[in-house]
Structure 1
Amino acid sequence: MHTHIVVAHPEPASLTHAVAARIGEAIVNADADNTVTSVDLMAEGFDPRFNAQDHAFFRRTTTLPADVAAEHARLDAADALVLVYPLYWWSFPALLKGWIDRVFTQGWAYDEGADGKVEKKLQRLQVHLVGLGGAGQQMIDRRGYGAAMKTQIEQGIFDYCGAPVLSSTLLLDADSGMAEAHLQTAVDIGRKIGTPAP
């Protein structure tokens, strides 16, 4: 199995990056046949702004931008996608949301027919979400943020494209001494992703 990990955090020494690294290591250690690639969107300088060429491609009047085509190639080679990110305002950071906006294109991630029906084109891609947040579970539950994120991200993005979200984990209280526990959870997540189904 080949897993592609995408990380969106501006600080390479962050807990977010450490969690992503632990997940990748655990996937590889779970089975000798597993492979992992990882991309740091900030370090690579990915431009998250949906631009005029992106819009023209959506309208089917021009070719796919080269940077988006490169992301498609990475994802086409993957069996699983793991997104590791900090929670910003109860969602993805803008960098990761822009990556989704630009990369999950019509014609590749989904297609809309003349009859208005949506063809879900990413049913083969297993998705795992790992969000890190400074708040606690009590606040998430009290304000309904968990349900809101599930609707926006799991249903609004991935279900629309047919990509099954096999796991969605929130590593909370990240600013309150939970780093070691979260790193162990990352290992557990990686093992589960990397262990072949019987």
Structure 2
Amino acid sequence: MNHLIVYAHPNPESFNYAILNTTVASLEEQGHHVVVRDLYKLNFNPILSGQDFETFQKGETPADIKAEQEYITNADVVTFIYPIWWTGLPAVLKGYVDRVFAYGYAYAYGEDGTMQRLLSGKKGFMINTHGTPKEVYDEIGMTQSLKQTSDTGIFEFVGIEPVGHLLFGGVPQVDDAARKEMLVEVQQTVKELF
């Protein structure tokens, strides 16, 4: 299978980076082809501009958006790896979704007003970290809300089938042994899903 991993964390020594490396290694061990788009390393422009809209209205796509869309088109599985900041996506990843999952590429409306999910046939997987203890997010309903806004609001909206979502809480407060257990869970989940 062809896997696209969209990664969004600015610190190359972060736990998210360890998750990325574990995910890539687990997939490659099973013979999958993996492409990583590290949005911070790429200095991806997250701002959906008026010029973008003008270009779209001419029936064209800005080059940087077109390049990312080609990675998605070629992928069987799209995985997002990112930290939860302020109960949402980092700005660079939100901007990636805004610009790349564009109308006419990722979704459209038919003449009768029905929704067309243009990325159907692909699978989606998410891995997140957050500083709040998992039990707190579970108790207040935030865990379910995060899954709904990303799995349903992003992936399902464009036809990508969510097949898994790992959320690791309290990451800055736990010890290395707990983080290693989290990485084992990433490895096992990846092998079970793909």
Give SS of 2:184's match: helix
Alpha-carbon RMSD: 1.4
Q: Which residue in 2 is equivalent to 1:51?
A: 49
Consecutive aligned runs of 4 or more in structure 1 exceeding 4 Å deviation: none
Select the residue among 122, 125, 137 that pairs with 1:125: 122
Aligned partners of 1:10, 1:144: CA distance in 2, in Å?
A: 28
Structure-1-length-normalised TM-score: 0.91
Q: Which residue in 2 is equivalent to 1:103?
A: 100
Distance 1:107 1:187, change over 3 A: same
Does the aligned pair in 1 maintain the 2:163–2:193 contact within 8 Å? no
Does the aligned pair in 2 maintain the 1:22–1:190 contact within 8 Å? no
Q: Which residue in 2 is equivalent to 1:183?
A: 183
- 1:17: Cα distance to partner? 1.1
Q: Does residue 134 of structure 1 match 2:131? A: yes
- 1:35: Cα distance to partner? 0.8
Select the residue among 146, 151, 164 that pairs with 2:148: 151
- 1:129: Cα distance to partner? 0.4
Q: Which residue in 2 is equivalent to 1:41?
A: 39
Structure-2-length-normalised TM-score: 0.93
Q: Which amino acid aligns with 1:182?
A: M
Select the residue among 39, 63, 67 that pairs with 1:66: 63
Aligned partners of 1:106, 1:127: CA distance in 2, in Å?
A: 19
Q: Which amino acid aligns with 1:156?
A: G
Question: How many residue pairs were aligned?
Answer: 191
The more displaced of 142-151 and 66-75 is: 142-151
Does the aligned pair in 2 maintain the 1:8–1:40 contact within 8 Å? yes
5+ residue gaps, structure 1, are none
**Residue identity (%):** 28
Q: Which residue in 2 is equivalent to 1:25?
A: 25
Give SS of 2:80's match: strand
Q: Could you say which structure has the greater relative contact order, defined with CA pairs below 8 angstroms and 6 or more residues apart?
A: 1
Q: Which amino acid aligns with 1:77?
A: N
Select the residue among 105, 110, 113 that pairs with 1:113: 110
Q: Which residue in 2 is equivalent to 1:81?
A: 78
- 1:151: Cα distance to partner? 2.3
